[in-house]
Structure 1
Amino acid sequence: MPAPKKTARRALLVASAVVSSLALTAPVSHAAPKPSPSTSPSATPPANMSTVGGERLGQAGTQVNLASGVPVLPKDLTARSWVIADAESGDVLAAHNAHWRLPPASTMKMLFADTVLPKFPKSVEHKVVPSDLADVGSGSSMVGIKEGETYSVHDLWLGVFLRSGNDAVHVLSKMNGGIDNTVKEMNAHAEELQALDTNAVSPDGYDAPHQVSSAYDLTLIARSGLQKKDFREYCSTVTAKFPGSTSKKKGKSVRESFEIQNTNRLLAGDSDIPVYQGIAGVKNGNTTNAGATFTGVAERNGKVLLVTVMNPEKSEHNEVYKETARLFDWGFQAAGKVQPVGELVPPRSAAQASAQPGANDSGQAGGAGDGEKSSKSAVGASAASGSSGIGVALGITGGALVLLAAGAFLINRRWPLPDLVRRRGRS
């Protein structure tokens, strides 16, 4: 059999097997109760946690299937909760207190972006008024948005992803009908994704009573977001030019700009931590209640992994990134050897669609939610003007796409991660 046909056939078999497993394992009945406004994070892992994704993921402590040939997990992990998963198959390779509901800090912005990003074309402009910024929390991380200045949606998303700017989140939320409406939509989207540990109170992740998520949910949310081309590009951008203030020079209005850098230290590097080989995003966070939180995606040798780490007890500088890097290292060594302990479930509508008789009988996709039309040709996306390190989002070059629930979810053999990660993967 010629190689291309063999590859396509193998992809279809893999995709079909995944879809079949989704139809059999839709976990709605296994969910722990949805957190209510009276629910607060527990001091220790609860005895009964959600079993979305598999029974073992509801158990406290570390879950991993160690066997001959499987590397031992790093011994110096101090996070209260973590998950490592195969981004493409959805297999959870190992986990620790996966469904423990904890404050998420700015990793909540992944849910905000996955919910709101499709609403506005990036070229849309908005003039900031005082009410847009009136309720930004004290001590918030800010990108530096000024009242009376005009910003494009593209500018605002750069502020969200690179600088974790709560000011940018609030402006976008006001454009989206207000904070309350945006939070309502975020919670509805979390429900659709089956991220049932998650309860959003503020769209930016700012500390608020009863605002919780889990390592499992954040991984699930990141996986959903990464299927959007704009999401992938923004979260992989290292540096960009951001609009500053307008001033008069020689009778003309001149708009200054300044450089912003991504606060994801595995992407940008720091004095005590190098850029992680193959890293491509996604989002970090840090607040008093949450401690340090982080979800990352990386690729090596065609394998794409997701890691979420929540609140390391060790107080060393950049500890959340160091523990994430060790989990990535383990995952790339263990992939293909370790038996999974659970799975990242599909959105509720996707699971329902896959369970319908005759659904997707052809195994072909009609199109992707972010505008990618075909698995047969590469889809290029130019790097954003005025930014650096963003790379070109590559099209899916091989394997069949399975489209579930009319464009809501993709399962494919290769994700179109930005060129940035592929260049770094070869370095």
Structure 2
Amino acid sequence: MSRLVPVLLLLIPILLSAGENLAPLVSAKAAILMDRQTGLVLWEKNADWRLPMASTTKIMTAMVILDHGGDRLDETVTVSQRADDVEGSSLFGAGDTLTLRDLLKGALIRSSNEATIAAAEYLTPTHTVAEFVGWMNDKAGELGLTRTRFVNTHGLYEEGHYSSARDLAVMTRHALSRYPLIREISKVRFTQVEALPRGMVNLENRNKLLGQAVPNIPGSIFDGVKTGYVRLSGPCLVSSATLNGWQLIGVVLNSPDMWLDTKALLHYGFTRYEWHTYAGDDTAAYEAPVAFGAARRAVPVGAKTPLGVPVMKLQFRGGGGDDEVRFTPARALRAPIARGEEIGTLSVYRDGRALIAAPAVALRAVPVAGWLRALRVIGYALGALLLLVIVGKLYGTRAKTARRRRRKLAAQRGEADPGRPGDR
């Protein structure tokens, strides 16, 4: 037995490594894990199944509210009786007045159904929910969500109201990337809004993962996004978690335990993958040839903003995987080039598909070669001399033409040519 101990100790790191790379134990009917920055799918299960998605619907509702009312958030809205009558109405009643901004908070934080209807009626020219739902479906089309269809603004079950884990991840990626207000509101655990004449209304987020770390991932934090539940959808959760600026999106639909499934999903992402930066404002990814440069005939190319992707850990240790960094110059590169000057685009490709791109910048100045500067000086001098010759030639030609005209006029008048003294 004593001889087996050293062998077992040697096997522990291998077993732990293998454990980290097993598929996550997710019991949800459908699930997906997506990198927010690149849209890269890190894991999926039945991700294209069309399923009812309950109140995760409100992610799209929030985007459409901001698309059509982003400049009207401080306007006051009165909750209608129709909004108050919706199933699950609990925060606001008919006749309550509050800002559009606070309705948005009510929808995202406390999942208020009446808030979505009040906002829809207020923003549409026809003051109808149907028109607002049309906007939601138009937005889904713009985002390429082919397995999503909306029938209402809140997510209560209705025939024909569905989405997929993949579509919800794409939708959420867009919301977190393009709508800072959604990103900020969805991480709020508790706040209050004022609804008159009711007074202050408490908004407590039902997402109990908010503010927690992903299990065994120090420095990580759950920071969004939306819960959902109706009987026919089962528990649903669209979540996000961030580690050192790297954000992952997890979606679980019809889950027996959405909290456990989500933790497993995000833990899998942060243990199996790591963020690798290929280029930045101080990290070169490419050496580009430069014409007419002094000393160096190439310039190190970096990225104006950090250019990186999630890389599978074992794959990365084995040599970087199949990622390829490509530089596309905006023009033929000729000196002089200033440090920090934008000179094209850097892109990261995996399996022939572009994952992410950023403006490419020169990380070092490239002055013009000395011999070229000398040639330019000589060229300027020769150009100036040539210009003087041309001007002189033009002046001489004009003077000669003027003398000929004077002689002709003198001959016509029978006078001696004033330019020929011998005729006087």
Q: Partner residue of 2:265?
A: 327
Deviation string 1:2-30 (CA, Å, 9 cap, x unpaired) is xxxxxxxxxxxxxxxxxxxxxxxxxxxxx
Q: Deviations over 1:319-378 (max 9, x none)?
A: 1021101110110111221699xxxxxxxxxxxxxxxxxx9959xxxxxxxxxxxxx9xx
Q: Tell me the residue number matched to 2:253.
A: 310
Describe the superposition over 1:135-161 as per-residue Cα deviations: whole angstroms up to 9, x where unpaired.
x1x3x253x112222100111011001
Measure the CA separation in 1 of the matches of 2:254 and 2:138: 26
TM-score w.r.t. the length of structure 1 is 0.57
Paired position in structure 1 for 2:68? 119
Give me the TM-score of the superposition, normalised by structure 2.
0.57
Whole-Å separation in 2 of the counterparts to 1:215 and 1:329: 18
Mapped to 2, the partners of 1:126 and 1:360 lie a distance apart of 51
Q: 1:206 aligns to what SS in structure 2?
A: coil
Task: Name stretches of at least 5 consecutive residues in structure 1 with no aligned partner.
Answer: 1-66, 247-254, 270-274, 341-358, 363-375, 377-399, 403-409, 414-427
**2: CA distance, partners of 1:131 / 1:106:** 19
Measure the CA separation in 2 of the matches of 1:124 and 1:360.
Answer: 47
The corresponding residue for 2:135 is: 185
* Shift in alpha-carbon separation, 1:217–1:154, aligned structure 2, 3 A: same
- Is 1:290 matched with 2:233? yes
Residue 210 of structure 2 aligns to a residue whose secondary structure is helix
Q: Which has the larger radius of gyration?
A: 2
Q: 1:79 to 1:141 in 2, by over 3 A?
A: farther
Q: What is the match of residue 300 of structure 1? A: 243
Query: What does the per-residue CA deviation read over 1:268-320, in whole Å, with 9 as the maximum and x for residues that have no partner?
Result: 67xxxxx99411111110001100111111111232101000112x3xxxx10
- Normalized per residue, the structure richer in helix is 2
Show the counterpart of 2:371.
none
1:195 aligns with 2:170: no
Give the drift of 1:187: 0.8
C-alpha separation between the residues in 2 aligned to 1:100 and 1:323?
18
Instruction: Kindly provide the CA deviation profile for residues 92-141 of structure 1, in whole angstroms up to 9, marking residues without a partner as x.
Output: 0110001000001001111111222232232111123324434x1x3x25
Letter in 2 for 1:309: V
Q: How does 1:23-422 map to 2 (within 5 A)?
A: 71-75=21-25, 77-120=26-69, 121=71, 122-134=73-85, 136=86, 138=87, 140=88, 142=90, 144-177=91-124, 178-227=128-177, 228-246=179-197, 256-267=199-210, 277-312=220-255, 314=256, 319-335=257-273, 336-337=311-312
2: CA distance, partners of 1:153 / 1:411: 35
* Residue pair 1:93, 1:339 contacting (<8 A) in 2 also: no
Change (3 A) 1:243 1:411: farther
For residues 217 and 169 of structure 1, what CA distance do their matches in structure 2 show?
21
- Secondary structure class of the residue paired with 1:291: coil
In 1, the alpha carbon distance for the partners of 2:329 and 2:121 equals 39
The C-alpha deviation readout for 1:165-212, integer Å capped at 9, x for no partner, is 001011011112221011111111111101110010111111101211
CA contact under 8 A between 1:198 and 1:212: conserved in structure 2? yes
- 1:259 Cα offset (Å): 2.2
Q: Deviations over 1:73-106 (max 9, x none)?
A: 233x211000001111111011000100000100
Which structure ranks higher in relative contact order (CA pairs < 8 Å, sequence separation ≥ 6)? Answer: 1
Q: Does the CA contact (< 8 Å) of 1:276 and 1:325 recur in 2?
A: no
Q: Counterpart in 1 of 2:412?
A: none
Question: In percent, how many aligned pairs have the same letter?
Answer: 27
1:20-76, CA deviations, whole angstroms, 9 ceiling, x for partnerless residues?
Answer: xxxxxxxxxxxxxxxxxxxxxxxxxxxxxxxxxxxxxxxxxxxxxxx979611233x
Residue identity matched to 2:27: T
Give how far 1:244 is off: 4.4
Q: Which residue of 1 aligns with 2:323?
A: none
**What is the match of residue 13 of structure 1?**
none
**2:133 aligns to what SS in structure 1?**
helix
Could you tell me which amino acid in structure 2 is paired with residue 78 of structure 1? Answer: S
Where 1:79 maps in the other structure, the secondary structure is: coil
Work out the CA distance in 2 between the residues paired with 1:267 and 1:221: 20
Distance 1:412 1:287, change over 3 A: farther
Q: Decide whether aligned partners of structure 1 residues 194 and 289 sit closer, same or farther in structure 2, where only a CA change above 3 A counts.
A: same
Judging changes above 3 Å, is the alpha-carbon distance between structure 1 residues 277 and 259 closer, same or farther for their aligned structure 2 residues? farther
- Could you tell me whether the CA contact under 8 Å between 1:146 and 1:245 is conserved in 2? no
Alignment-derived partner of residue 362 in structure 2:
none
Task: Check whether the contact 1:160–1:169 (CA below 8 A) recurs between aligned residues.
Answer: yes
SS at match of 1:278: strand
- Judging changes above 3 Å, is the alpha-carbon distance between structure 1 residues 194 and 168 closer, same or farther for their aligned structure 2 residues? same
Alignment CA distance shift 1:192-1:291 (3 Å): same
Mapped contact 2:81–2:94 kept (Cα < 8 A): yes
Structure with more strand by fraction: 2
For residues 167 and 79 of structure 2, the distance between their equivalents in structure 1, rounded to whole angstroms, comes to 33
Does structure 2 retain, via aligned residues, the 8 Å contact 1:293–1:310?
A: yes
Instruction: Supply the RMSD in Å over aligned alpha carbons.
Output: 3.1
SS in structure 2 at match of 1:106? helix
- Which amino acid letter does the alignment assign opposite residue 331 of structure 1? G
Equivalence for 1:47? none
